[in-house]
A and B are shown apart, each in its own frame.
Chain A
């Protein structure tokens, strides 16, 4: 070893990796079952990931006149029939109980004069979401942390988990490192829950996902887990002058000085106008009501009608795509759920929140506030199931040779004398994946061209990533994981030879029922990334006797 490292070994019944809403729920619920729980986070539990930025929570309550069939019918259609109806239904049904948990832990929601929660119907007249009170907006994630501490969860902040431990086919924990030393942290756990959030390529336009570099998926894939395909892209846009996410954070608990007010960006939520003066068209009413989080802007840019601008008191500001580069629609990528307990295809490994690819929303965003509710619901299911499994089992002993293998993986980039810097490889990856005609408006030849570049990065640059200090060591692992995410995205996009929801192929512009009423599953077989088509159960298909135009009110260009 070039550098000395101190080894810290910790043991638990349940190891939860990632401390956003899914991770906190998983840890708290596992602990309530009587399990010894460790919660480890790359950042600081209560401040990391996207959770602190959330402002609303979807909640279903029959006492408020909600009808499950109405909600389901709406989501099934807008999601273009590839939502997983089991998980959609579970998320809806259990959302209110999780809202009650949050209230009991001290999270405040906005209420009316009678003390009843203010409900914001989104989409209009269909589903409801509750608004986190401004007083606890941002702070509510810290309330989750406090509840985890009260529940006797052991929290370790600022440890980046880089590799899962596997023994006799079972995941038995993980190893990681802090950002400021070469210490090794080894976690031995009977059950491990990945709650690591979404996957991105560190896009500058959306700070909340700077940490979310597909670490969990990449670890799970390398260990042999199955991953949900990644063809349904997240299309959030950003402003050239004010990256999104910042307005949620700035001004939260102190006044914003005048010279930073530009970052808050007046005029959000106003209409967006293309270069010819036309407003971005709304989707047909029965297709969706969820703002512009579709491919409309990309289609306008592709047609040569950019720049797209939005009016503000400071003049028109330019709106651009790629804010969430590398990310799928929430829950449209992640660990493939192999059972109804958020278990993966590997014994001992669970996933929850955005790390679980349960397709609760299908091929487009169907519901506002459902991502955060889904995190709470799946965190609870995974936490309870993992604890029950762990408490029934004997404590594990993990052989030293497996820990030594994982340690070798962790420190490989600092053992190299030189090679390629993770910052440069990350930039190369961003430049390869960012153009709208690669990740958003897709076609086989362009996807293949990008894949050729990414394969070269994978084969020739990733094995030669080097790090000069512990900070760069973290960057090296993040870069390695982002490259794997890019390969998965491109292969999934090539694999789905149709268009549906937020997956648009110029060379296959129609939905292809029933051939592509299916999900894409990814796994490593004999060293190769393999894609498998998994049909949506027939009882969840739309009525194929209804005309195509009625099944799919939105038309893609070229259909």
Chain B
């Protein structure tokens, strides 16, 4: 799970982030025609949405680096 936001003021509603997300985290809000983070639990910080957004509306908050990974040892 990651801390990802979409700035509705910058989002142009193109939907490229919805198509790009491999984990089905992002949806279009039918009322505003803007992208929204619908299922943050599934985000794996792959950064596709950030890379693809033409308006730089996707904000990945840096504190994600503190998200613990469950690892093979520790």
Contact = CB atoms under 8 A, between A and B. Distances in A.
A214 B70 CA distance: 21
Interface in B25-74: 27, 38-39, 41-42, 44-48, 50-51, 56, 60, 62, 64-65, 67, 69-74
Contacts of A204: 44, 67, 69-70
A298 B45 CA distance: 25
A241 B73 CA distance: 15
Interface in A341-391: none
Given A158-B19, A207-B44, A471-B38, A306 B73 contact: yes
Contact of A179 (B24, B44, B51, B64): B24
Given A47-B19, A158-B19, A263 B70 contact: no
B71 A211 contact: no
A555 interface: no
A252 interface: yes
A320 B72 contact: yes
Given A44-B20, A47-B20, A321-B73, A471 B39 contact: yes
At the interface, is chain A mostly helix, strand, loop or mixed? loop
B22 interface: yes
B23 interface: yes
B73 A260 contact: no
B22 A210 contact: yes
A431 interface: yes
A243 B51 contact: no
Interface in A178-207: 179-180, 202, 204-205, 207
A238 B74 CA distance: 13
Contact of A245 (B24, B27, B46, B70): B46
Contacts of A205: 69, 71
A44 B15 CA distance: 12
Contact of A253 (B51, B60, B69): B51
A395 to B, nearest CB: 32
Given A253-B51, A260-B60, A43 B71 contact: no
Contacts, number: 108
Given A254-B51, A263-B65, A301 B72 contact: yes
A322 B44 contact: no
Contacts of A238: 69, 71
A250 interface: yes
Contacts of B62: 259-260, 262
A505 interface: no
Interface in A216-271: 238, 240-243, 245-246, 249-250, 252-254, 259-260, 262-263
Interface stretch (A107-115, A432-440, A492-500): A432-440
A207 B46 contact: yes
B22 A263 contact: no
A100 to B, nearest CB: 29
Contacts of A246: 45-47
B74 A320 contact: yes
Interface of B: 19-24, 27, 38-39, 41-42, 44-48, 50-51, 56, 60, 62, 64-65, 67, 69-74
Interface of A: 43-44, 47-49, 138, 157-158, 179-180, 202, 204-205, 207-208, 210-211, 238, 240-243, 245-246, 249-250, 252-254, 259-260, 262-263, 298, 301, 306, 320-322, 325, 423, 430-431, 434-436, 439-440, 471, 474-475
10 contacts: A44-B20, A243-B69, A249-B47, A253-B51, A259-B62, A260-B47, A260-B60, A263-B65, A301-B72, A423-B41
